[in-house]
Amino acid sequence: MTPLAASQKALEICNLAPIVPVLVVDDPAHGAPLARALVAGGLPALEVTLRTPAALEVIAEMAKVAGGVVGAGTLLTPDDVVAAKEAGATFGVSPGATDRLLDACEAHELPLLPGAATASEAMALFERGYSMLKFFPAEASGGAPALKAIGAPIPQISFCPTGGVSLKNAMDYLSLPNVVCAGGSWVAPKDKMLSGDWDGIEALARAAAALT
């Protein structure tokens, strides 16, 4: 997969909804009902972070849910790429980008949303062929004003800001011309997962999906 094709596919996924849930899931049994709730609420693109021992099993369970587009977040190494693809992930997300990680995603045909926090990082990825990037960590890197400033001289690049994005500040990002969607974890709070409040999670997803 070429960087151009990978970036185009990532853009298509980012266009599915204004918010991409960033999911940290400890129990594989939560995978399917969580995915069903988020998809029913209007958020089909799901990022399962590889931060828990259960993450790959969760991806496998979510991949079975109709209407969902499941990706693996926190990709750091080529081994992560292989494991995520084998588990059923159809796209990847990384906090930053290295040549080895990009090479692996391209070789294994896993569309990647690579992270960038500075103009230089964004330009390096754009030079390689990536024009749909993750802006991370968004709030710690200056928030919406910083992303607006980066976008002024590089309008060819689109972003999915992630990191500190909440219902309260999401529209600050989504109103920017260089933002396609934003990543947020508030739509799947741990307490609701632990209590099995899937209706509550669906309601949070609906509110997030209405952010346009």
Q: Looking at 9, 47, 61, 192, which residue is catalytic?
A: 47
Place of tokens 């209007």: 42
Residues 6 or more apart whose Cβ sits within 8 Å of residue 6: 105, 106, 110, 111, 112, 129, 130
In DSSP terms, which residues pair with 182 in a beta bridge? 19
Q: Which H or E element spans position 92?
A: strand 91-93
Q: Are strands 19-23 and 91-93 parallel, antiparallel or unpaired?
A: unpaired
Q: Is 86 a catalytic residue?
A: no
Say if CB 101 and CB 94 are below 8 A apart.
yes
Residues 6 or more apart whose CB falls under 8 angstroms from that of 154 comprise 119, 122, 123, 126, 178
Options 134, 139, 192, 202, the catalytic residue:
134
Q: Is residue 134 among the annotated active site residues?
A: yes
Report, as residue numbers or ranges, the catalytic residues.
47, 134
